[in-house]
Structure 1
């Protein structure tokens, strides 16, 4: 592939987030071309491909993995299928962008990383917060030494409410493996070069207490201690009534940076009911520019033959923190990271 050829991308998984990603790749990512859509359910792939001008649709992922007209795949299938798809795509010689989590066990994470390394393909994982302007600027300030030594960090994710999901359809530990995993990566991103040492977590079903008996958890707080002495917290809730809320903060010896805002514009309304702002209700609205940024970085890595900016190893580190948090909830004790091996 020359540096001027478009990267031909196939989407795997045409659900809500996959459809969003496909639209951005097809219409907003310079140097990319959406050429195929694969989804096993009904006519989902055919409908999305037709809407976005992709030439191929299929219910069988083998069709895109075996196609000479596909350079890379964007995996947005259910989380528990990610590892097998990463391995299959890499073995087929396709570059891989995989939504988080890349895996739900460390053994599977290692398999995915090894497959990409063996095939010599780019593997990038979808930790989109790194590409949000505020978070990117915060990291630049940290790299420049403007806050001194990081001492206290915070990252949070609050999904918009009221939460109306069915707890029975939410896989156990989703709050750690699919929600807070973003925050675990953010804490590592905003504390560059530091290694997580110890994790303590508490979690409960505060939104749906009736579902706790079946293992459903919808609210959590995690503390992570790093080897540079920094103490970090990550928190999540499935129901923020005021909108989608994603924020980060790093306090250091010389200053502090914050990132993340939920408002959709800088307009503030002052009226008889008080002060009002419009807030984002969906991740695809709040993080739209972040998604475009991460897909653009993926395409640039392929065309320039450089490593992805968010690697499989980054995904493994975030997963290890998530697994430590799960063990902490199960045991009620702090968990040393060197104890997390599965």
Structure 2
């Protein structure tokens, strides 16, 4: 059984990850919050035995085998490096870090320590996206040519905070949502993005000059061009992912979400058919793969290297929106 320490008493851990750890055979034994009161209250509410206030106390705890990092983005690197040094396996929220140099250092530290490192890109675990990936691999839409991602949602008040007012913490929609698009497209298309163009928008939610919406295009190594729309400001939109090929199209609806919902329709010369799906909790799928990797069986569903790719893409989109030009995507793996 893998025993976990939580670095950050976060909403995502409470809503999704703690349950996924427990459902896949792990145990949460400790939580770290810099606020003693918050940490203790959180631990009691979630049935966690220990609450600590320092990173050192958590990563040096012999009862902890793995850590889940869900603090604000600028803290990830130092926390992951400390965990790796202490020999703990690492599941880190996206984006891995604020810079590619830091993200690469995190992945290298985990390799040097011989520990598993994963990025919590949940969307590649969705039955919808896995069905799309398999359909493309089976040649059901011919040669993939283009894609469209609709991932503009309304950021609920309890999740706003730093995402809208702290650029130094990696706030803004690009590092929060566009990185998910990048990872999902890489997974579904089985190809890497090579350049980006984008326009950002300030629609009234983002503070301190942070963007709260963005539209752009990614070009992939296999020639696919992918349009994306991400936002915090759209209260009534649905999400979706479309992949269009020379012989057919895959239409995914309500698929860019944490919940195991959505549909995928294949359209080709014979008409329309919905692909069969086996919906499962996305985070449980991720944690099952992580626990297996810790046991020496396979690898996480999204590795540290996958996290470097999504960060590189997000940073390229940030730069493209800032300059108005086309920006190369170079993760430097």
Tell me which interval the TM-score lies in, with the shorter structure as reference length. Answer: 0.7 to 0.9
* Counterpart for residue 178 of structure 1: 176
* Residue 294 (structure 1) aligned with residue 291 (structure 2): no
* Residue 197 (structure 1) aligned with residue 190 (structure 2): no
* Counterpart for residue 274 of structure 1: none
| In structure 1, C-alpha distance between the alignment counterparts of 2:78 and 2:24, rounded to whole Å | 29
TM-score between the two structures when normalised by the length of structure 2: 0.84
| In structure 2, C-alpha distance between the alignment counterparts of 1:238 and 1:259, rounded to whole Å | 21
| In structure 1, C-alpha distance between the alignment counterparts of 2:248 and 2:214, rounded to whole Å | 28
Q: In the superposition, relative to structure 1, how do residues 160 and 173 fare at CA in structure 2: closer, same or farther (>3 Å)?
A: closer
| In structure 2, C-alpha distance between the alignment counterparts of 1:295 and 1:260, rounded to whole Å | 25
* Residue 335 (structure 1) aligned with residue 327 (structure 2): yes
| In structure 2, C-alpha distance between the alignment counterparts of 1:257 and 1:43, rounded to whole Å | 49
* Counterpart for residue 254 of structure 1: 247
Q: Of the candidates 100, 108, 130, which is equivalent to residue 136 of structure 1?
A: 130
Q: In the superposition, relative to structure 1, how do residues 265 and 225 fare at CA in structure 2: closer, same or farther (>3 Å)?
A: closer
Report the alpha carbon displacement of residue 173 of structure 1 after superposing the two structures with TM. Answer: 5.7
SS in 2 for 1:304: coil
The runs of 5 or more residues in structure 1 that have no matched partner are 1-5, 267-286
Q: In the superposition, relative to structure 1, how do residues 207 and 168 fare at CA in structure 2: closer, same or farther (>3 Å)?
A: closer
Answer yes or no: is the 8 Å Cα contact 2:21–2:284 preserved in 1. Answer: no
Report the alpha carbon displacement of residue 75 of structure 1 after superposing the two structures with TM. Answer: 0.8
Q: In the superposition, relative to structure 1, how do residues 246 and 98 fare at CA in structure 2: closer, same or farther (>3 Å)?
A: farther
| In structure 2, C-alpha distance between the alignment counterparts of 1:162 and 1:120, rounded to whole Å | 39
Q: In the superposition, relative to structure 1, how do residues 288 and 309 fare at CA in structure 2: closer, same or farther (>3 Å)?
A: closer
Q: Of the candidates 69, 87, 107, which is equivalent to residue 81 of structure 2?
A: 87
SS in 2 for 1:190: helix
* Residue 227 (structure 1) aligned with residue 221 (structure 2): yes
Report the alpha carbon displacement of residue 56 of structure 1 after superposing the two structures with TM. Answer: 1.5
Q: In the superposition, relative to structure 1, how do residues 163 and 204 fare at CA in structure 2: closer, same or farther (>3 Å)?
A: farther
Question: What does the per-residue CA deviation read over 1:74-100, in whole Å, with 9 as the maximum and x for residues that have no partner?
Answer: 111111111111111111111111011
| In structure 2, C-alpha distance between the alignment counterparts of 1:74 and 1:152, rounded to whole Å | 35
* Counterpart for residue 13 of structure 1: 8
SS in 1 for 2:211: coil
| In structure 1, C-alpha distance between the alignment counterparts of 2:137 and 2:19, rounded to whole Å | 30
* Residue 206 (structure 1) aligned with residue 199 (structure 2): no
Q: In the superposition, relative to structure 1, how do residues 190 and 42 fare at CA in structure 2: closer, same or farther (>3 Å)?
A: same
| In structure 2, C-alpha distance between the alignment counterparts of 1:169 and 1:41, rounded to whole Å | 21
* Residue 24 (structure 1) aligned with residue 22 (structure 2): no
Report the alpha carbon displacement of residue 18 of structure 1 after superposing the two structures with TM. Answer: 2.5
SS in 2 for 1:80: helix
| In structure 2, C-alpha distance between the alignment counterparts of 1:128 and 1:18, rounded to whole Å | 13
| In structure 2, C-alpha distance between the alignment counterparts of 1:250 and 1:26, rounded to whole Å | 32
* Counterpart for residue 317 of structure 1: 309
In angstroms, what is the RMSD of aligned CA positions?
Answer: 2.6
SS in 2 for 1:235: strand
The runs of 5 or more residues in structure 2 that have no matched partner are 262-278
Q: How many residues in Structure 1 have an aligned counterpart in Structure 2?
A: 309
Answer yes or no: is the 8 Å Cα contact 1:200–1:333 preserved in 2. Answer: yes
| In structure 2, C-alpha distance between the alignment counterparts of 1:119 and 1:324, rounded to whole Å | 30
